[in-house]
């Protein structure tokens, strides 16, 4: 493989979602294979003390890599050394990919939606397709339906918002990833200039955020929990690959997702979400799906030269 080909693959891998858009990954080409490393200098110790979401983010990038490789005519042979920060090693061989290369066209179309979705249901056939996408990667996507269940989940999301925003360290960490002067990582603040960062770090805006998220959970065209059989490193790798597979399948059909993860992030709320949703397995992510109301802002990503090295 030419260096340019590796760069093209890593560019697509890095279009994956990551919590607070930290992009906590590094790639190394060594002995003809590509290594995926966790970049723990980009961890979120308050929001994600166990690096669970960090690992899920890296695994989402791995799924993009597998799809991009398939689209380029390669079979990606992935091993999981789990050696310190080294999460995965990808060796490529010419041949048909084990994942659909056609999904590569959706990599740049996928965006996180933070606005209300356009009204209208998500067709049951599409929901079945998304659940199959999660299952293909060793996770499960369960739909949360019915008014009573939605209300309970919405209450839990709102409780999560209030708990997180009440914690000064959590607010400061969020504010650190809202930087108006840089546009290659972190969360978008351009509509508000520097004001919002100041507000988030200084004041508890948990009440208004809770109100917005509660409405999102109640009225989302579709609401689902992604679960994995257990809650170990291998499960988080499965969750991230399943997440990205689900999101790419959704994007191919004009659907996007938004995150309502608070009940999965707060240890006291996670078992409550599992119980009220009747889930046998631990919840990893809570997602709403629908058609976005308009065009998304451009992706904010670091240049490939900053995340890829040739050993």
Ligand X SMILES: Cc1cc2nc3c(=O)[nH]c(=O)nc-3n(C[C@H](O)[C@H](O)[C@H](O)COP(=O)(O)O)c2cc1C
Q: Are residues 201 and 146 in contact, defined by beta-carbon separation less than 8 angstroms?
A: no
Q: Are residues 136 and 243 in contact, defined by beta-carbon separation less than 8 angstroms?
A: no
Q: Are residues 125 and 255 in contact, defined by beta-carbon separation less than 8 angstroms?
A: no
Determine if 106 is a binding residue for ligand X (CB under 6 A): no
Q: Are residues 26 and 32 in contact, defined by beta-carbon separation less than 8 angstroms?
A: no
Measured CA to CA, the distance from residue 121 to residue 18 in angstroms comes to 27
Give me the least distance between CB of 285 and ligand X, in Å please: 6
Please say which residue, 92 or 235, places its beta carbon nearer to ligand X. 235
Answer for which of 17, 160, 221, 283 binds ligand X (CB under 6 A) is 17
Give me the least distance between CB of 289 and ligand X, in Å please: 14
Number of residues that bind ligand X (CB under 6 A): 16
Determine if 299 is a binding residue for ligand X (CB under 6 A): yes
Determine if 261 is a binding residue for ligand X (CB under 6 A): yes
Alpha helices in the chain (DSSP H): 3-13, 52-71, 104-107, 124-136, 147-166, 168-176, 195-202, 206-219, 233-252, 262-265, 270-276, 304-307
Please say which residue, 21 or 142, places its beta carbon nearer to ligand X. 21
Answer for which of 14, 21, 68, 241 binds ligand X (CB under 6 A) is 21
Determine if 111 is a binding residue for ligand X (CB under 6 A): yes
Please say which residue, 56 or 140, places its beta carbon nearer to ligand X. 56
Provide the token pair at 149: 């269940």
Give the three-class secondary structure for 199: helix
Q: DSSP code of 32?
A: T
Determine if 227 is a binding residue for ligand X (CB under 6 A): no
Q: Of residues 29-88, which lie at the interface with ligand X (CB under 6 A)?
A: 53, 56-57, 60
Give me the residues paired with residue 90 across strands: 34, 78
Please say which residue, 57 or 227, places its beta carbon nearer to ligand X. 57
Choices 109-117, 163-171, 190-198, 203-211 (CB under 6 A): range interacting with ligand X: 109-117
Determine if 259 is a binding residue for ligand X (CB under 6 A): yes
Choices 15-23, 34-42, 74-82, 190-198 (CB under 6 A): range interacting with ligand X: 15-23
Choices 19-27, 31-39, 76-84, 193-201 (CB under 6 A): range interacting with ligand X: 19-27
Determine if 19 is a binding residue for ligand X (CB under 6 A): yes
Please say which residue, 131 or 157, places its beta carbon nearer to ligand X. 157
Measured CA to CA, the distance from residue 108 to residue 170 in angstroms comes to 30
Measured CA to CA, the distance from residue 101 to residue 72 in angstroms comes to 8
Determine if 209 is a binding residue for ligand X (CB under 6 A): no
Q: Distances from the Cα of 234 to the Cαs of 49, 63, 80, 182, 230, in angstroms?
A: 17, 14, 8, 33, 9
Summarize as ranges the residues that interact with ligand X (CB under 6 A): 17-21, 53, 56-57, 60, 111-112, 114, 187, 259, 261, 299
């Amino acid at each position: 493989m030419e260096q340019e080909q590796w760069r093209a693959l890593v560019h697509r891998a890095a279009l994956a979602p990551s919590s607070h858009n930290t992009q906590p990954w590094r790639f190394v080409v060594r002995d003809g294979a590509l290594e995926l490393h966790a970049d723990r200098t980009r961890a979120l110790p308050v929001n994600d003390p166990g690096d669970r979401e960090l690992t899920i983010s890296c695994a989402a990038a791995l799924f993009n890599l597998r799809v991009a490789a398939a689209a380029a005519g390669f079979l990606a042979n992935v091993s999981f050394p789990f050696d310190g920060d080294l999460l995965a090693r990808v060796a490529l061989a010419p041949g048909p990919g084990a994942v659909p290369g056609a999904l590569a066209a959706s990599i740049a179309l996928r965006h996180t939606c933070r606005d209300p979705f356009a009204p209208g249901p998500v067709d049951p056939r599409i929901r079945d397709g998304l659940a199959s996408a999660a299952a293909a990667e060793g996770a499960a996507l369960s739909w949360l339906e019915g008014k009573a269940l939605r209300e309970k989940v919405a209450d839990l999301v709102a409780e999560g918002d209030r708990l997180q925003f009440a914690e000064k360290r959590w607010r400061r960490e969020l504010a650190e990833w809202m930087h108006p002067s840089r546009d290659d990582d972190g969360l978008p603040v351009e509509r508000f200039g520097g004001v919002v960062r100041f507000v988030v770090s200084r004041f508890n805006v948990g009440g208004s955020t809770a109100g917005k998220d509660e409405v999102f959970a109640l009225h989302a065209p579709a609401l689902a929990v992604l679960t994995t059989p257990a809650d170990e490193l291998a499960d988080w790798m499965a969750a991230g690959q399943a997440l990205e597979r689900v999101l790419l399948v959704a994007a191919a059909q004009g659907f996007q997702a938004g995150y309502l993860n608070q009940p999965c992030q707060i240890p006291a709320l996670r078992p409550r979400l599992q119980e009220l949703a009747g889930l046998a397995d631990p919840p990893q992510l809570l997602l709403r799906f629908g058609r976005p109301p308009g065009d998304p802002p451009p992706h904010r990503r670091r240049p490939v030269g900053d995340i890829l090295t040739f050993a």
